[in-house]
Every structure is written in C-alpha cells, then in structure tokens.
Amino acid sequence: MDYKKVKTEKEAITRTLREFDESTGNIYESVAILSKRANQIGKDLKEELNRKIEEFATTNDNLEEIFENREQIEIAKFYEQLPKPTLLAIKEFLDDEIYYRNPEKESSNI
C-alpha cells in the first residue's frame, strides 16, 4: 500500500469509543488489531526510508557529502510529515480495510 497517498489526519483526534468495537465486539481485541497493524506499517515505512537513504550513502569522504546530506535530510523530512502509523492503522480499521481473524473464536464455532 502506498502510505504517501492516504488521506488521513496528521495528528491524533478525539474519536468515539464505540466506533472501534463495532466490528469485533471487543474494544481490547480492536486495540490489539490496531497495534499489530501500526507495527506493520511502521516497519514498512522504516524499511522504505532506509532503502532511500542508503542510495546516498558513500564510503568516501568528499566535497559532495554536504549535498548528499541535504538530500537525505529532505527525504527524512518528507517521511516525518507523513501521518503516524497508528493514525494510518486507525483509518484502515474504520474503513474495514484490515483483514483479521481470531483463531479462538473460529475453534469455538466448530
């Protein structure tokens, strides 16, 4: 998923608690789903950022280092301005874009 194109809030906002337990029936299960998804998103963003920064990494010290550092700083600033992984996970959860399952519930239905 391209997280750079997701339209969501850039800072935390007050939400209604009942929005989160509608699909699962349990607020704690919803929070667990959100935390796992936020960790996945954060990991993906970090790996993408590291790949982009590695493109500018050099083993030699030279005069171009200052220019390269500026490019690295610009890339880092762009990623800092993206919505936080938790906010992205909340948007996905509320839009029913997250697939999840609970094996305990599935085994009790047999």
Confidence of residue 64 (pLDDT cuts 50, 70, 90): low
Confidence of residue 67 (pLDDT cuts 50, 70, 90): low
Confidence of residue 61 (pLDDT cuts 50, 70, 90): low
Task: Answer yes or no: are the C-beta atoms of 101 and 24 closer than 8 Å.
Answer: no
pLDDT per residue as tens digits for the range 24-53: 889 999 999 999 999 999 999 999 988 888
Q: With 90 as the cut, is the pLDDT of residue 59 above it?
A: no
Contacts of 39 (CB under 8 A, 6+ apart): 85
Please report, as a single letter, which amino acid is at residue 95.
D
Q: What is the mean pLDDT of residues 91-110?
A: 80
